[in-house]
Copies of this chain bind each other. A is one copy, B any other.
Amino acid sequence: MKADSMETKLKIAEAAIALFTSQGFKGTTVRQISKKAGVNLALISYHFGGKKGLLEELITSFFEGYIRRIEIIYHTSNSATVKGSFIELVEALLIYQQRNLPLARFVYREMTLDSTLVRELMSTYLVKEKYFIQTLFEKGMKKKEFRRQPVDFLTIQFKDMMMLPFLHPLYLSEVYQITAETETFIKPYKKWMVNWFDKCVCQSERRNPLLSAVQKPLFGSIQEKWGS
């Protein structure tokens, strides 16, 4: 393959990502892509085997990189604590998603649809992702580092928190004037997640009996124990 050809293929991919992100896959035409990429219409079919092929190649490449980063940390993390591994994971995934922000956004949106492609992607990539994260949580619980609690919800919430800023960047910027694209976002958000780990995941410190005695009557009707 010529270098020129590789370049046009990249130009097509970039234009497609930008358009898919803001307009959705179905809302984007191949003509728009070819125009934005400054490339002939027929080249999209030539390089990607059509619009659908372009979509699949983009999504697959995103998930490949995503899963690879999880696997690497899962197998080679040398943190003393499980929480340490998680923090490595958080950092790696935040950076990866930020670097591929528009791609991530449109992939996540597409995954809320109901197609055979989506089901396939879920059973290959997301089931794998679930396995790694859930196993990490269970490891932390066995080591008494994490508090015992429903591991399903925990995994889901973790994944969701990792996804949030990249699925809703327009919401963040329009309503909160927060932009997920800059470096100034990653740091505080990572901090936020670490705080969440300390408060919600890790083993809580022994309670002060006086304080809890004061608070209990107020919330008693709702604040029940887990696992009932």
Contacts and interface: CB of A to CB of B under 8 A. Distances in A.
B87 A222 contact: yes
Interface residues of A, number: 67
A168 B153 CA distance: 13
Interface stretch (A31-39, A59-67, A92-100, A201-209): A201-209
Nearest to A22: B114
Number of copies: 2
A200 B200 CA distance: 7
**Chain A contact residues: over half helix, strand or loop, or mixed?**
helix
A156 B193 CA distance: 13
B198 A206 contact: no
A192 to B, nearest CB: 5
Contacts of A222: 84, 87, 194
Nearest to A170: B114
Interface in A192-228: 192, 194-196, 198-200, 204-208, 211-212, 218-219, 222-224, 226
B199 A176 contact: no
A135 B63 CA distance: 38
